[in-house]
Amino acid sequence: MNASILVDILKYYGAPMVSNAMPVFIGKGTPIDKNIVWIDNKRLLGDGKTWEGLATGILGGFLASLAIGLYLNNTLFFTKSFIASIAGLLGDIIESFVKRRLGIKRGDPLPVLDQLDFAIGATIAYAVLGEGEVLDPAFLASAYTLIMVLHVTTNTIAYLLKIKDRPW
């Protein structure tokens, strides 16, 4: 992977990554789904999606986007990066909805989607916001590969530090 691809990955996915990592420190909170059970008798989202987690994620995404926007001296990109971070958090919420419908319990793994849920949300946001270059196949493959590797590494560290109770 060459340096300019790495810089672009950080530019586009840095804030969504920070935003996605923040809720992990929350652990417990008020479930977004208000404990509601769906027609399939399973939770709508589950206890892993909380308002507190969402709020810290939005805050983290805001601060990281601000840093990137200031560094690039680009207000428009700050806005897009912040929106992409929120879209990433929504992607994670949608992923939990899908997991529950598939009968996967909160915290149980759905490989690949668990790691890429937020990245897919962020990619869609950038594409909609006119940053279509994120859809370049070589860039997308590099970004998603790096995110998968980083996700697995950081989650293993978080597990070893007992921040997370499962290594995924």
Residues that bind Mg ion (CB under 5 A): 92, 95, 117
The minimum distance between CB 95 and Mg ion, in angstroms, equals 5
**Residue 20 binds which one of Mg ion, ligand CTP, none, with CB within 5 to 8 A depending on kind?**
none
- CB proximity list for 128: less than 8 A, separation 6 or greater: none
Alpha helices in the chain (DSSP H): 3-21, 51-72, 75-101, 113-128, 137-160
Distance CA 106, CA 68 (A): 33
Nearer to Mg ion, 38 or 71 (CB): 38
Q: Does 80 bind ligand CTP (CB under 6 A)?
A: no
Nearer to ligand CTP, 52 or 131 (CB): 52
Distance CA 125, CA 131 (A): 9
**Residue 49 binds which one of Mg ion, ligand CTP, none, with CB within 5 to 8 A depending on kind?**
ligand CTP
Nearer to Mg ion, 74 or 154 (CB): 154
The minimum distance between CB 110 and ligand CTP, in angstroms, equals 7
The minimum distance between CB 58 and ligand CTP, in angstroms, equals 10
The total of other beta-carbon atoms located within 10 Å of residue 146's CB is: 18
Closest CA to 8 of 122, 147, 143: 143
Beta bridge partners of 43: 37
The minimum distance between CB 92 and ligand CTP, in angstroms, equals 5
Which residues in the 10-49 window bind ligand CTP by CB under 6 A?
Answer: 23-24, 26-27, 29, 46, 48-49
Cα separations in angstroms, 111 against 33, 105, 115: 23, 13, 7
Binding site for ligand CTP (CB under 6 A): 23-24, 26-27, 29, 46, 48-50, 53-54, 92, 96, 99, 106-107
